[in-house]
Chain A
Amino acid sequence: MEATANASLLVRGLQPEYRGSPVRDAKRTRRFASLFKIPQEAQGMPQLDLKNPALTPGHPAEATWFRIVERRIIMSVQTNINLKDDRRWLSQLIAMRALEFFKATSDLLPSEPYIYSSQKGDLVAEFTAVRGTLTSIVSPKFILLFAVVDGSPMEKKVERESGFEELRSELRQLTESLRMGRNGSMATGN
């Protein structure tokens, strides 16, 4: 709780800047990322060290687009507490959950996502793949995955308590279908 409170104070002190220099953006990204280190026991899930992911044991490889999406999420963290219900911004909690999600699964995800905030304040990420599309919704308590493979929908819901291993396992099944088709036949691209 104390760590979160400190983070809020620090975050509030930063001004929203969307057109800053890349160096300043990178600095800001690192600064925000350091705020997302919260006590492991408070979260009930394996902690992800977003500042230095290489030190996290058994950490999956990052997709090439991961850093871009990470920057977009961090730059969208709500800094003004008076802005309620403004969907241009993500709450710190959702931003943290989204970063955890992408950190844990980016190597399995089919493409760079299009991200936006839902009316309920959760993060929605849209992906396109060879055989269809994948939508993931990151909420504080669950991750909802919805894939349309060759025109057929498939839905999976993973509760946060289930942990990243189950999430990765569910996601692996969906992304394999998106790559190979429902019957496992390889897409020809025609």
Chain B
Amino acid sequence: MARWQPVIDQQIGSNEHLGRRLFDEPLLAGAQDQRPFTGILLDHFLEKRDDGQVSLDRLGQSSVDKRVLNHLLPLASSAAKRFRPPKRFDGWSVLRARFLSNPPCGTALSVVPSPILEPENEANIYHAHIVPGVTDPYSIALHLRHLFTSHGEIKQVVPGAQGMTGFVRFRNWLKTLVSFRLKSK
């Protein structure tokens, strides 16, 4: 089956799965002894840009499309490397679009498709963004985190899968299969 291609000039469907990229975030220098935090850090939903638009990836029409994830993975990984200092891409926090347009609590947020067409190596037809209202960026980030945490799911990237070509993945799978067969004999 072919990879899902969103119709660019069409509105985001209520069942579409939207993903917010998760990157590893630094710990405070003096707080390295803290117990790890089990939730999603607020920073994943904060945008530093002045326009306050919150970027998302459209991950599938009615469920998360694995082909779309595989297509976006190298883009997200290279975006992670562009941070100063570079970060690690950990996956997506995923939510159905209807929880943003018609949330069970709080303000409704509108999401618009905003494909990135250039530069070519950063092109992403799956890009969309949340139009910020007059609300304070922290309030939006807290609201988004609450929605993604209570109604969404995490699509984690398998460590080491980043940057792997299809051939390498196939070779690794074959190796695992052969070693499993040999062990079972």
Chain A positions near chain B (C-beta within 8 angstroms): 16, 18, 71-77, 85-90, 114-120, 124, 126, 133, 135, 137, 144, 146, 148, 151-153, 155, 157
Partner of B34, one of A88, A114, A146: A114
User: 10 A-B contacts, Cβ less than 8 Å apart?
Assistant: A18-B29, A73-B30, A88-B27, A115-B31, A116-B25, A116-B41, A119-B48, A148-B150, A153-B105, A153-B146
Our pick among B27, B48, B105, B142 for the contact of A120 (Cβ within 8 Å) is B48
User: Across the interface, do B42 and A118 meet the contact criterion of CB distance under 8 Å?
Assistant: yes
What residues make up the interface of B, taking CB atoms closer than 8 Å to A? 25-35, 37, 39, 41-43, 46, 48, 84, 105-106, 136-139, 142-143, 146, 150
Q: Give Cα A135 to B139, complex, Å.
A: 11
Partner of B142, one of A90, A114, A146, A152: A146
Question: Nearest 6 pairs between A and B by C-beta?
Answer: A75-B30, A76-B30, A72-B31, A76-B28, A114-B37, A88-B29
- Minimal beta-carbon separation of A148 from chain B (angstroms): 6
| Distance between B100 CB and nearest chain A CB, rounded to angstroms | 15
A89 engages B29 (CB within 8 Å): yes
A151 to B149 alpha-carbon distance, docked (Å): 10
A81 to chain B, nearest CB (A): 15
A-B contact count (CB 8 A): 86
A157 proximity list for chain B (CB < 8 A) = 136
Give every chain A residue within 8 A of B34 (Cβ-Cβ).
72, 114-115
Residues in B neighbouring A77, C-beta threshold 8 A: 30
B106's closest neighbor in chain A, by CB?
Answer: A153
The answer to whether B46 touches A88 (Cβ under 8 A) is: no
The interface residues of chain B lying within 8 Å CB-to-CB of A87 are 25-26, 28
Query: A116 near B142 (CB under 8 angstroms)?
Result: no
CA distance A50 to B66 in the complex (A): 54
15 extra interchain contacts, Cβ-Cβ under 8 A, other than A117-B28, A148-B146, A153-B142?
A: A18-B29, A73-B31, A75-B30, A86-B26, A87-B25, A87-B26, A89-B29, A114-B37, A116-B31, A118-B43, A133-B39, A135-B42, A137-B42, A146-B146, A148-B150
**A18-B30 contact given A118-B43, A146-B142, A153-B142, CB 8 Å threshold:** yes
Q: How far is the CB of B20 from chain A (nearest CB, A)?
A: 14
Residues of chain B with a CB closer than 8 A to A152's CB: 105
CA distance A4 to B22 in the complex (A): 37
Chain A residues closer than 8 Å to B41, beta-carbon distance: 116, 124
Query: Nearest residue in A to B139 (C-beta to C-beta)?
Result: A155
**What's the nearest-Cβ distance from chain B to residue A157, in Å?**
8
Of A71, A90, A146, which is in contact with the most chain B CB atoms at under 10 Å from its CB? A146
- What's the Cα separation between A18 and B33 when bound, in Å? 10
Q: Considering the chains assembled together, what is the distance between the CA atoms of A9 and B125 in angstroms?
A: 51
A72 touches B42 (CB 8 A): no
Asked if A74 and B35 sit within 8 Å, CB to CB, the answer is no
